Structure 1
Amino acid sequence: MSHKRIPKRRAAIAAGGAVALGAAAILLPNANASQDGGTSDDAATAPRTLKAADASDLASQLAGLLGDAFAGSYYDAGEQQLVVNVVPGDNNRVIVEAKKAGADVREVANSMAELRTGAQTLKSEATVPGTSWALDPRTNKILVTADSTVTGADWDRLESTVEDLGAGMATIKKSEGTFRTFVSGGDAVFGGGARCSLGFNVTAGDGSPAFLTAGHCGVADDQWSDAQAGQPIATVDQAVFPGEGDFALVRYDDPATEAPSEVNLGDRSVQISRASKATVGQQVFRMGSTTGLANGRVLGLDATVNYPEGTVTGLIQTDVCAEPGDSGGPLFTQDGLAIGLTSGGSGDCAVGGETFFQPVTTALEAVGATLGGDADAGAGDRAGGQVGEEAGGQAGEEAGADDQAGGAEGGDGEAVGGGDQAGDGDAGAGDAGDGTGYAGADGTGLTG
């Protein structure tokens, strides 16, 4: 049976194949080597220039190395460096090791334990629908957000709780939108009158093909189709929502279904090499059945969101836009790493807002599934070269026509990869030097 492809409309993306990111794995062993090959003490302790994915891997290693001294980390995209927070104490040795590993180490006031205790206080005293909080290592504080529905006594309660935590522990801001899950009727994957987006194809614990999507999609209906009012192609196996996450494992009904680890581009695809944890400051891309491609950065981790349906914990907070129907769609990096599944948020792709994502690593562990492998290993390479010439321009035209953006001027486009060219007015800039082309649903062209 041919593999099931979920149609994506309005935008196309491409990446130049699966990138095996092993650099971070050797950063610690080679910490004494400077970037230019020297071995001076100054060079050995200077912060290293890192790709975001390498910084994420290094952050995970340093979290274990530093123990209780570790107070979070984030990626400084401008300097291309990993910044690691540590609390003062008898930890000079591990700080030296962190610096040798290439991190920019800074001392902060709040430990991870103190921040998590503060988050627990918010949960027990200020769990109000329309609120969220996440750990923000850039400020070393808890970022508390209230949507437009939080008013009167609820706002007073939230504000009072934040004030009691202290100015050095938490900040609070208002969002113009309303927190909601992004389920809607329309196209993509359908079930129970709702529309969602397929996240990532995976292999279930028993070896059968399946996919991940949002948990609030999984609890909406047991069976899902790839066409509105079509025959079911997959059945929900596990779903979590609300509670400790927003994810579902959906098994393809036909065990012979080919489900390669890739993001579907319609007539071509992009290889997803593996799952990775998010890093604050990291640039990420989201694909959804309503709005196509959007991009932004990770703002916070361990986010708690109080949706009208209930509280969800352990999410990733970003400034990537999304709209109803995008739920469950993949969040990933330009290097082909799976990061998250679209959960919900506020705003839309016209005004922006906050969007929350279920970490893929947590979902995979919970359902016992695996992502990645050697299926269609060359697909990304083939797609990269072709789409760099075709899909960037074509999708930019299509997206521009849909949104009256006409490709805009590259608008909020950010150059990625080696080409350093962001949308040039033709919305796709399809002649990417290395074959990597990203085109957003708002007409923004990103080329590598």
Structure 2
Amino acid sequence: MELTKFLAVMAAVLPVAYGAPVEAANQLHPEILAAMKRDLGLDAEQATARVARELAATDVIENARRSTGDDFAGAWVARDGAAIHVAITNEARAAEVEAAGATPVFVRNSLTKLEQAKLALDGIDIDQVQTLDSTAEAVGVAAYFVDVASNKLVIEALPGSVAHAEGLAAQVGLADGEFEVVTVQEMPTTLALIRGGDPYYINRSARCSVGFAVTTGFVSAGHCGTSGSSATTSAGAALGTFSGSVFPGSADMSYIRAASGSTYTNAIAGASARITGSTVTAVGGSICRSGSTTGVFCGSVRALGATVNYAEGRVTGLTQTNVCAEPGDSGGSFYSGAQAQGVTSGGSGNCNSGGTTYFQPVNEILSTYGLTLVRS
């Protein structure tokens, strides 16, 4: 199968439109609308209106951030996408937030302090305590991130590591009220799958999903393959070779340079839809994911810049969502409306009971490898 047709199949559930943000929101693909109805309870009119509001919120938040300076403590959109909240540590800045078009929320902890604490955690070798006692509580620190809505650093830990997590918070200088330990029941895992099926295969064994087409190939997750690994269709036809890959560490990203003579498109099968850009959606914004195992599922952004502890090692700079995913969805597209957001990294749970999924922001992939999204 030529890459053009392959990527069209992979992009069959990507958002539509090539044009202005409002135009893009009004042309959401039927499969995206169906997923937003199923996962977010929104009809077509509500879904398109929400996406348009969230695209506009990006500029509002940036204007508020610039005007409030060091007093800016983060921002998020409301659960229904109707309001934009901007946290500030100085109530005197409230008028500037309102002038920018957002609702001010006064908080105690500065964003700088919380982000510096998270950065300090990134520099600690977090020992995942092991036990041979089968009756003991499960242990492990799963992930941590700054939750701007709660104005705290959140550390997710298995039941047996709550005290460990609290000690880590104290180690990086956080006091009560500046952090929260949330108990989770399982550690996150990457989502590659060794079994037969479509989309693309790495060295003709592990299966992952295409993220987004770029002018010289496509991008996906770093844990899917290493530099030099081959990417093929299920029939063994060459799609390209991994030209760059980072995992674990500072990212979970890869760039697959396509085979000679291939053409590239983000066209949706049976339509003339396009991804129009890669504007980052805010915390609380709606987001959807396409993967080769489960198709399209939607949810919301929960946190930016999360650190996740996989079995293979720690990965920083991921975005946390409440969208589900399953093995084989790795590398697949995350998007808000017509704006590319990132590629699926990993998480926990499944699409029957729900789950948490992290993605690697696409803009970092594009800038790292000097790539350009396909827009035609």
Shorter-chain TM-score tier: 0.7 to 0.9
Shift of 1:57: 3.1
Partner residue of 1:32? none
Code of the residue aligned with 1:197 in structure 2: it is S
**Structure 2 CA distance for aligned equivalents of residues 115 and 269 of structure 1:** 44
Code of the residue aligned with 2:237 in structure 1: it is Q
1:136 aligns with 2:143: no
Shift of 1:327: 0.4
Judging by fraction of residues, say which structure has more strand: 2
Partner residue of 2:67? 65
CA spacing shift, 1:268–1:78, aligned 2, 3 Å: closer
Q: Deviations over 1:161-205 (max 9, x none)?
A: 2366223111111222331100002321101321000000012xx
CA spacing shift, 1:359–1:57, aligned 2, 3 Å: farther
Partner residue of 1:5? 6
Normalised by the length of structure 1, the TM-score is 0.68
Q: Deviations over 1:27-85 (max 9, x none)?
A: xxxxxxxxxxxxxxxxxxxxxx9711111232234333332121110011336121111
Q: Deviations over 1:299-321 (max 9, x none)?
A: 11110001111111111001000
Q: Deviations over 1:249-287 (max 9, x none)?
A: 111112x4221234x44x446311101213111111100
Partner residue of 1:173? 182
Q: Deviations over 1:82-131 (max 9, x none)?
A: 11111127x64xx4333212111122111111101221343326464652
Partner residue of 2:283? 280
1:118 aligns with 2:120: no
CA spacing shift, 1:146–1:19, aligned 2, 3 Å: farther
Tell me if the contact between 1:175 and 1:346 (Cα under 8 Å) persists in the aligned partners. no
Partner residue of 1:259? 264
Select 1:240's aligned residue among 231, 237, 246.
246
Q: How does 1:24-423 map to 2 (within 5 A)?
A: 51-78=53-80, 80-88=82-90, 92=93, 95-123=94-122, 124=124, 126=126, 128=128, 130-147=141-158, 151=160, 154-162=161-169, 165-185=174-194, 186-187=196-197, 188-192=199-203, 193-203=205-215, 209-219=216-226, 222-227=229-234, 230-254=236-260, 256-262=261-267, 264-265=268-269, 267-268=270-271, 270-333=273-336, 335-373=337-375, 375=376
Alignment partner of 2:97: what SS?
helix
Count of residues in Structure 1 that have an aligned counterpart in Structure 2: 331
Shift of 1:337: 0.8
RMSD, aligned CA: 2.7
Larger Rg over CA atoms: 1
Code of the residue aligned with 2:211 in structure 1: it is G
Partner residue of 1:44? none
Partner residue of 2:17? 17
CA spacing shift, 1:78–1:22, aligned 2, 3 Å: closer
Tell me if the contact between 2:209 and 2:332 (Cα under 8 Å) persists in the aligned partners. yes
**Structure 2 CA distance for aligned equivalents of residues 53 and 195 of structure 1:** 33
**Structure 1 CA distance for aligned equivalents of residues 81 and 318 of structure 2:** 26
CA spacing shift, 1:15–1:369, aligned 2, 3 Å: closer
Give percent identity, aligned residues only: 33
CA spacing shift, 1:272–1:83, aligned 2, 3 Å: same
**Structure 1 CA distance for aligned equivalents of residues 12 and 180 of structure 2:** 38
Shift of 1:8: 5.4
Normalised by the length of structure 2, the TM-score is 0.80
Shift of 1:221: 6.1
Tell me if the contact between 2:228 and 2:243 (Cα under 8 Å) persists in the aligned partners. no
Q: Structure 2, unaligned stretches of length 5 or more?
A: 24-50, 129-139
Tell me if the contact between 1:176 and 1:347 (Cα under 8 Å) persists in the aligned partners. no
Shift of 1:2: 7.0
